[in-house]
Amino acid sequence: MSEEENLSYKEAIEKAGSSITRFPLIHIRGVPLMCHIANNWDSIWAFCPDPSDLLIATYPKAGTTWTQEIVDLLLHNGDAEACKRAPTPIRSPFLEICSPPPIPSGLDLLKKMDPPRVIKTHLPFQLVPPGFWENKCKAIYVARNAKDNLVSYYYFDLMNKTQPEPGPFDGYINKFMRGELSWGPWYDHVKSYWVEKEKRNILYLFYEDMKENPRREVLRIMKYLDLSVSDEVINQIVELTSFKSMKENPMANYSCIPSPVFDQSVSPFMRKGEVGDWKNHFTPEQAKMFDEDYAEQMKDVNIPFRSLI
């Protein structure tokens, strides 16, 4: 992707100007999605990937960008310069994203790329276009513990001017528990991929494991992708995908999205990158109420989430 094309993506967002707003949500099969996504649903559902394409699926704020960067570096044998060829959403398009023209949609960007492509989605399993499974595409799912995921999403909704207004934190906790945020309930999302992971050969990762031992998780991704990368390169990838490195990397820190959309003066995209930040936000009463509801909503599965205490 040339510098000019990168620039035109940024320019396209700037040109969209006043049509950028906090978009209302419209339900697709019970899942609330930004109206532009819902209005283009038929073409998203009909998208047919190539068998060589890789899907990176997450609930928003679970570590998508981090995983996209690890995968891109693995595919380029740790070549940092190659992975600075374009910002994340150009290198690894966001399948369902649709915004007002002239901003290219995820599908527009994908059409211009040759497979194998690395495709990001926040869709729950049941809304992923069936072509991915018919074509036996590989898929990586990243899950993050609910309370940290919620806190991260709250800050994101403050700074992302296309998402519904988050409102006060207390009410936001309720919206999260009721599944009213964009892309629907966290609970159903993490479960939907968990129950399909064996049948669909999905690599199911946890943000907390990536934080605990990034090298181990980078190796897991490498093996899943049938790649062979030297120890030295793995170390380099771990370093290049540390929170600090990515925060400073203009091709990974979303500085490509201008402030009328991502207002990073409100909250940076690379905000904290920690496990357990929920403890700085939930009162003991809120945590108790959340945990009781969590036990009920998650009682039918045993997904080994950590950092809930």
Instruction: Provide the annotated active-site residues.
Output: 122
Contact 98, 123 (CB under 8 A): no
As measured in angstroms, the least distance from the Cβ of 120 to ligand A3P is 9
Helices assigned H by DSSP within 160-249: 169-178, 186-196, 207-212, 214-224, 231-240, 243-248
Q: What is the CA 291 to chain-centroid distance, rounded?
A: 24
Decide if residue 190 touches ligand A3P (CB under 6 A).
no
Contact 74, 225 (CB under 8 A): yes
Q: Which two tokens stand for residue 97?
A: 């994203």
Tell which positions 248-287 bind ligand A3P, by CB under 6 A: 270-273, 277
Q: Tell me the C-alpha distance between 16 and 11, whole Å.
A: 9
The single residue among 99, 152, 192, 249 that binds ligand A3P, judged by CB under 6 A, is: 152
As measured in angstroms, the least distance from the Cβ of 2 to ligand A3P is 25
The single residue among 99, 121, 241, 249 that binds ligand A3P, judged by CB under 6 A, is: 241
Q: Among residues 11 and 188, whose Cβ is nearest to ligand A3P? A: 188
Q: Is 13 helix (H, G, I), strand (E, B) or coil?
A: helix
Q: Which two tokens stand for residue 131?
A: 């072509």
Q: Among residues 79 and 277, whose Cβ is nearest to ligand A3P? A: 277
The single residue among 28, 58, 143, 196 that binds ligand A3P, judged by CB under 6 A, is: 58
As measured in angstroms, the least distance from the Cβ of 142 to ligand A3P is 7
Q: Tell me the C-alpha distance between 159 and 175, whole Å.
A: 18
Point out which span in 26-34, 103-111, 217-225, 236-244 binds ligand A3P (CB under 6 A). Answer: 236-244
Q: Among residues 23 and 141, whose Cβ is nearest to ligand A3P? A: 141
Cis peptide before 116 (omega within 30 of 0): yes
Decide if residue 193 touches ligand A3P (CB under 6 A).
no
Q: Tell me the C-alpha distance between 110 and 12, whole Å.
A: 17
Q: Is 160 helix (H, G, I), strand (E, B) or coil?
A: strand
C-alpha closest to that of 65 among 142, 138, 10, 160: 142
As measured in angstroms, the least distance from the Cβ of 96 to ligand A3P is 14
As measured in angstroms, the least distance from the Cβ of 290 to ligand A3P is 17
Which residue type, as a one-letter code, is found at position 13? I
Q: Which two tokens stand for residue 173?
A: 């906790």
Q: Which two tokens stand for residue 9?
A: 């993506």
Q: Among residues 233 and 238, whose Cβ is nearest to ligand A3P? A: 238
Q: Tell me the C-alpha distance between 36 and 96, whole Å.
A: 9
Q: What track of x and - describes contact with ligand A3P for positions 63 through 102 (by CB under 6 A)?
A: xxxx------------------------------------
Point out which span in 9-17, 60-68, 79-87, 288-296 binds ligand A3P (CB under 6 A). Answer: 60-68
Which residue type, as a one-letter code, is found at position 134? E
As measured in angstroms, the least distance from the Cβ of 299 to ligand A3P is 26
Q: Among residues 9 and 156, whose Cβ is nearest to ligand A3P? A: 156
Q: Among residues 237 and 270, whose Cβ is nearest to ligand A3P? A: 270
**Residues forming the site for ligand A3P (CB under 6 A):** 58, 60-66, 152, 155, 241-243, 246, 270-273, 277
